Amino acid sequence: MSTYDVVVVGGGIVGLAHAWMASERGLRVVLLERTPVAQGASVRNFGMIWPIGQPSGELYATAMRSRDRWLTLSNEHVVDIEQCGSIHVAHKPDEMAVLEEFCSHRSHSVEILGAESVMQRAPIVNPNGLLGGMLSATEMRVNPRVASAQVAAWLQAEKKVTCCFNTTVTSIDGGNVLASDGRAWRADRIVICGGSDLQTLYPEFLQSAGMKLCKLQMLKAVQARSEAVQPHIASGLTLRHYSSFSSCPSLAELKQRVASETPELDDFGIHVMASPFRSGDILLGDSHEYDADIAPFDKAEIDDLMLRELQKIIRLNDWTMHERWHGIYAKHPELPVVEREVEPRVHAITGTGGSGMTMSFGLAERTWKRWMGEN
């Protein structure tokens, strides 16, 4: 049996974040992941580092601290980061009203743009009916399909973290972690970051935590390569989704209009966004189906609705969809992350929802500071 200070179960972004923060404290860490590389929600997203979606206060500060960690990885040449910023576009008066109210709070570093300024910064935006938008400089872009693998390789090479892939953990007995192939590890602290897997380890605790599973459908289009860095584009529909906008008085009117005019969007939790990479890939989405509504089969109706709404906010030379896929993540209705000590010094950490790429490094840093008694 191998002995370490810390065993991390799960090689997605949450597990990687906790392994990194443990290694920074001089702890000997082993990370165990059941697949050859991370294949869950960490690779099936937009690649958005999205502080603008977090409400002011501790959560926004945590997102910004996590952002700093991504920049560290960029400076270390671990991942390629586009410091692209974001623009929320408004094609309806109530959308513009919410953006103006949000800017008036002065809680985030944002500014209102006129329609012409939006088009100058983001020529992909549909000018028809465009009223303006809101610019935020804090958002960034990474390639989600390779970022987790790149971070894992760096942790092994530079931070002396032992990463064991193709390793399925079947049980934990006190400080002993057992794998399906008979291998075992012992550690003073065990951190379980299983993502959407709420069944394998301590299911009774995870299911009682009040979490939901969420399925999202996504698409990829391909345009000509561009050396210019373009911002993430979010629609007015997105204002319904992120809690940072919940204090805006006009949001209720916007929600009511959407529910009245296009109730099918609420049925599938659709709010559309676009992430245009310099490579020419444009990641598009997304939708939200929960728990019993989740099926292994994607709905063509959802894809069609997303494309209908995307065509209202952006223009593409070619609307051929080169890839279609879905991801599933766990989220809590109220908490930004769920952490439970399921046994003494055995911690289950999951439920970052759609904010894993944005929040994980900051959340892990905060957690390890608490565990180590740091100020």
DSSP string for residues in 39-53: -SGGGSS--EE-GGG
pLDDT at 227: 86
Predicted pLDDT at 157: 97
57: exposed, middle or buried (Cβ count in 10 Å: 0-12, 13-18, 19+): exposed
CB environment 344-364: b (16+ within 10 A), e (fewer): eebbbbbbbbbbbbbbbbbbb
Question: How confident is the model at residue 256, as a pLDDT?
Answer: 98
Question: Treating both helix axes as pointing N-terminal to C-terminal, what angle do 93-104 and 251-261 enclose, rounded to 10 degrees?
Answer: 160
Q: Is 227 helix (H, G, I), strand (E, B) or coil?
A: coil
Along the 375 residues of the chain, how does pLDDT read in single tens digits?
899 999 999 999 999 999 999 999 999 999 999 999 899 999 999 999 999 999 999 999 999 999 999 999 999 999 999 999 999 999 999 999 999 999 999 999 999 999 999 999 999 999 999 999 999 999 999 999 999 999 999 999 999 999 999 999 999 998 899 999 999 999 999 999 999 999 999 999 888 889 999 999 999 999 999 889 999 999 999 999 999 999 999 999 999 999 999 999 999 999 999 999 999 999 999 999 999 999 999 999 999 999 999 999 999 999 999 999 999 999 999 999 999 999 999 999 999 999 999 999 999 999 999 999 997
Judging by DSSP bridges, how do beta strands 169-173 and 48-49 pair with one another? unpaired
What is the pLDDT, as a whole number, of residue 207?
80
Q: What pLDDT is attached to residue 174? A: 83
pLDDT of residue 195: 94
- Which letter, b or e, does each residue of 253-291 get, where b requires 16 or more Cβ atoms within 10 Å of its Cβ? ebbeebeeeeeebeebbbbbbbbbbeeebbbbbbbbbee
Rounded Cα distance, 355 and 333, in Å: 13
SS3 category, 223:
coil
**What's the burial of 55, exposed, middle or buried (CB within 10 Å: 0-12/13-18/19+)?**
middle
**Cα–Cα distance for residue pair 315/181, rounded to 1 Å:** 51
Using an 8 Å Cβ cutoff, are 113 and 132 in contact? Answer: yes
Residue 7's beta-bridge partner residues?
A: 30, 190
Which run of H or E residues covers position 347? Answer: strand 346-350
As given in the structure block, the two tokens for residue 5 are: 């200070």
Tokens, residue 335: 């908490």
Cα 304 to Cα 147, 286, 287, 294: the distances in Å are 29, 11, 11, 18
Give long-range contacts, CB 8 A cutoff, 24+ apart: 34-39. 34/166, 34/167, 34/168, 34/169, 35/11, 35/165, 35/166, 36/165, 36/166, 37/11, 37/148, 37/149, 37/152, 37/165, 38/11, 38/12, 38/13, 38/148, 38/149, 38/152
Taking the C-alpha atoms of residue 197 and residue 233, their distance in angstroms, rounded to an integer, is 31
User: Which pLDDT does position 208 carry in this prediction?
Assistant: 87
